[in-house]
Structure 1
């Protein structure tokens, strides 16, 4: 009985060890590939982070496209709009036709500020 159990346990242990090692290698390779992609596209990743920083400012929920464009040079208008969308921003046009952007995550804050301003003006 033991003579048949030892090879079975050895095979099971070898398979488990091989599976664990394969998982660890794959996890490391995935992290390495992700890092390579980030480095290859570093400009876009940093531009998204910068946009999030500007649109997360505690005093301003909105930023004009012109202000964002001024601070993020090197992108044409369409590229910059794509970066804004990837960062989670939405566009709004004011009555004067100017283009403004805000993070979708700050929409509740924008609405509550708008309600407060209406209440003060009434």
Structure 2
């Protein structure tokens, strides 16, 4: 019984370093935007650049998260019924995340065109 329960527990996926670097960049840009009056008081042009960087990093982070989720599901060691159930639940989430990432990347292009 104990082995069966351990098999049902979802193992954590291996997070690639690029995902961690992108998440760190997203955190850095978010903190810069949060405290832009204290960090960038005499640089009014920093705000649009930081907003464009925020949208860009978010647009890059979403596909990386999707690939992590898909690779995790492909190597899931659990029973077949659990894998099928997870696929049914994950597929709509992946499609929604793909649309969100596409929207973020389009917004990033528009934001960078406004900055330049």
Query: TM > 0.5 between the two?
Result: no
Which protein is bigger by CA-based radius of gyration? Answer: 1
More helix by proportion, 1 or 2? 2
